[in-house]
Structure 1
């Protein structure tokens, strides 16, 4: 079938002022010069003050997208949220048909295949949301993409990469001790997407100059997909905001009472994945 790209084939992008950057991961070669915010802003919008730390990590890991993904003529992607809307959805078979399946944080797959599928291409996470046993919930070819919110996240990753005892300070919840780690599967998300999500998609141009809530892992994943993919579909996003006892996730019994102080982007814990803004031709399945 023809590739029905969400991006305008005419003279302007569908989303006003949106400029695509397909460099998903931080690399040692070139990216920093061509994406000024990376060295101009602090985390999570850039890596100012953490350049050497990032270099030490990248010297031991990889930063490329596998050719089996990058070489696709049409990249059809689905971002799978963690919302309870997936429970009993029977979308598993549909999700598995996408070229690229992006999952979030520590959302389980095993035992939920009928509703969420079992294919995973990229899993976005931060230390507090990491999975302890990486082999239990993921396929061998998956890439684990760290979303660095703070310097402690990079220090944690460095200690993992260099097989040292992991730090436990600077986190809102103690990160798990990772088992069966293959560092060749680790990547660091390009901070460009954090910057873009807040200044272009959400139109908060001055947000990086003030104290403000962060975009969630889910919104960042959607932002990456809009940059890298030709077709972008979403599944499992949204909260039952009008139901105090409505369930939040498809995999547990946490309910909306825990979110009485609901914000679009909760600053205390990025583990909740609220509804992303409607993004023109982005489709919900």
Structure 2
């Protein structure tokens, strides 16, 4: 059922006209607030956002364009017809949910409530292969932490499909606080199952080697 609904395609090869030249990977850090990065983000060929990170009301700082949104069922939001839905499958039920939102709409519970249906273009659905996630965990993070964060997976995905990768909205604010730009409160999101230290070190090295350009919002 999965492959009949979402047939496999060679999306981004070097010779393809859809080859990505410039890409913005937009995280959800509070360091985007007041950054005025919106126009710079929207000028990129691809703009990859993750989970529920909104644009409405934050356009000046985060832009309005979204070509790809990386989600799992518990973080799903509606998307317009220009956006690719990229699913991070952590369990079999995630794949079943993906089928369900376009067909029977009967799955509304995983370990928490999930939306039984979302607005999205089924012709723009992509699924990150678990082997790719395993490769990121083992090769890029040396198996540190429980599993890679959505942001880190999105960044490595971008490195594989785009020539130039710019990174926005990762890391803490200037004051060292970890929170989302769309939250009204501060919460430490550097803990949990991800190894924020290892991910941050890899991102720093990639920036120093000019493989990516990192925009911190306050430098």
TM range (shorter): 0.7 to 0.9
Secondary structure of 2:49 counterpart: strand
Q: 1:252 aligns with which of 183, 186, 195?
A: 183
RMSD of aligned Cα (Å)? 2.8
Superposed displacement of residue 61, structure 1: 1.8
1:239 aligns with 172
User: What's the offset of the Cα at 1:177?
Assistant: 3.3
Q: Kindly tell me the number of residue pairs found equivalent between the two proteins.
A: 206
Name stretches of at least 5 consecutive residues in structure 2 with no aligned partner: none
Q: 2:154 aligns with which of 221, 224, 242?
A: 221
Distance change (3 Å), C-alpha of 1:70 and 1:238: farther
Which aligned pairs between 1:28-47 and structure 2 lie closer than 5 A?
Answer: none
Could you state the TM-score of these two structures normalised by the residue count of structure 2? 0.82
Give the whole-Å Cα distance in 2 for the aligned partners of 1:74 and 1:61.
Answer: 22
Max Rg structure? 1
Unaligned runs of 5+ in 1: 1-55, 267-273
1:119 to 1:70, Cα distance in 2 relative to 1, 3 A = farther
Q: Provide Cα deviations, 1:41-88, integer angstroms capped at 9, x if missing partner.
A: xxxxxxxxxxxxxxx212112443389x94156621110000001111
Any residues of structure 2 matched to 1:1-285 within 5 Å, and which?
Answer: 56-64=1-9, 65=11, 70-72=16-18, 75-131=21-77, 134=78, 138-169=79-110, 171=111, 173-204=112-143, 213-240=146-173, 243=176, 246=177, 248-256=179-187, 258-259=188-189, 262-263=191-192, 265=194, 275=200, 277-278=203-204, 279=206, 280-281=209-210, 282-285=212-215
Which one has the bigger strand percentage?
2
Deviations 1:163-190 (A, max 9, x none): 3411413x2x311232434322222112
Q: TM-score, normalised by structure 1?
A: 0.64
